[in-house]
Structure 1
Amino acid sequence: MGADIHGFIECRVTYGTIDEEDSSWFAAIDLFLLYGGRSYDAFGCLFGVRNYAGFRPLAEQRGLPPDVTDEVRSGYESDPTLYHSASWIGWEELAAVDWDEPALTVDARDAWRQEGKIMRVARMTRREAVHEFGEWDPVWATMKALADVHGPRYVRLVVWFDN
């Protein structure tokens, strides 16, 4: 059975506010409008879900942010028997990622043993797992556009998974 990702890009609106700390988070856009893929390499690299490639996940099972919007919380809690591994990552974090960082281990799907030896030595990089101009590009472009208006620390991707 496959795992799918669900979630929202949230933005804390600062445009036109006097005190940024008094602004509220908004569920800006549902992830299904921007991303329709199922990349276990990306899921593992970003959130530690189906991490066959052996990455140090960027944001593994952080849960929902404490100030998550009601819309996002109700989406996640709509089926507690199905949804799992809630997490989030901010645009500031994503903008600082070393996309050339290799996985910690060789890819478990590609490694094989022969006479007690692992016969694969290459490790995947984050860039190979989450292609720069691939299916995640619309997500990153949307987050960047919101960050350009409201500031990088006020944009985040909140996700959860199903099986």
Structure 2
Amino acid sequence: MGTDISGYLEHRAPQDGREPIWYASYDLGSLGVDRDYDAFGCLFGVRNYANFRPLAAARGLPADTSAAVSARLAQLIEWYGENGFHSITWITWAEVKAVDWDEPAEKPDRRLHEFRRTPEGLGLTGKSGVSPAFAKAVGLRPGEVREWPEGTEWLIGDTLYRSVIIRRRDAVSGTGQWQPVWDAMKGLAAQHGDDNVRLVVWFDD
């Protein structure tokens, strides 16, 4: 069973001369974000196979969240119960702007990166846990898990297995599916300020 993300972009603005409150601006689904475990781990500590220091993990639901987000979560609880979602958290645009996207993960990816030789050189074909062919070749017992030093590699048949530490920009590409989210947050921040724009997310399995 996989893990998917849901959420909203919110902005904070004054209301009829009273204290500012948060409003829902965009449903995250409308911005095209799909299942992406490297990004989930890098940003929020969910499915963190790549071993990042998460930017905003397990902060919970903001006490002042928008009415739309509160209503959506209440609906999910009504439909699926308290276990219908998990790992709710949030991050502001000010925090996203401050990210060092060249920061590496703290340890090598728990999934070995698999490459195949092509006329243009080595091509990444996937990331996975231990395959049966790999386990047999290196003598792993059933269920055994090891942490391999960065750069360790094995050529088994026509597949090259390599232990890799990835950077934040590898997990959340500047031109990938998260770019529309950052663009929308940047646009809202131009109107309301960096600290007055945030992304609230939760996950379901």
Q: Above 0.5 in TM-score? A: yes
Aligned equivalent of 2:3: 3
Instruction: Name the SS for the 1:13 alignment partner.
Output: strand
The question of whether the paired residues in 1 share the 8 Å contact of 2:44 and 2:58 is answered with: yes
Instruction: Name the SS for the 1:43 alignment partner.
Output: helix
Q: C-alpha distance in 1, partners of 2:63/2:86?
A: 17
Runs of 5+ unmatched residues, structure 1: none
Higher strand share: 2
Aligned equivalent of 1:83: 85
Q: Which of 1 and 2 has greater Rg?
A: 2
Aligned equivalent of 2:178: 136
Aligned equivalent of 1:63: 60
Aligned equivalent of 1:37: 34
Runs of 5+ unmatched residues, structure 2: 114-129, 140-145, 153-161
Kindly report which structure 2 residues correspond to 1:120-135, keeping only aligned pairs within 5 A, or say none: 120-135=162-177
Q: Deviations over 1:108-157 (max 9, x none)?
A: 01176847772345310000000001000100000000001110000000
Q: C-alpha distance in 2, partners of 1:143/1:7?
A: 13
The question of whether the paired residues in 2 share the 8 Å contact of 1:17 and 1:23 is answered with: no
Q: Which amino acid aligns with 2:61?
A: L
TM-score by length of 1: 0.90
Q: Does 2:187 match 1:145?
A: yes
Runs of 4+ in structure 1 over 3 Å off: 16-19, 111-117
Change in 2 beyond 3 A, CA 1:117/1:38: closer
Aligned equivalent of 2:107: 105
Instruction: Name the SS for the 1:141 alignment partner.
Output: helix
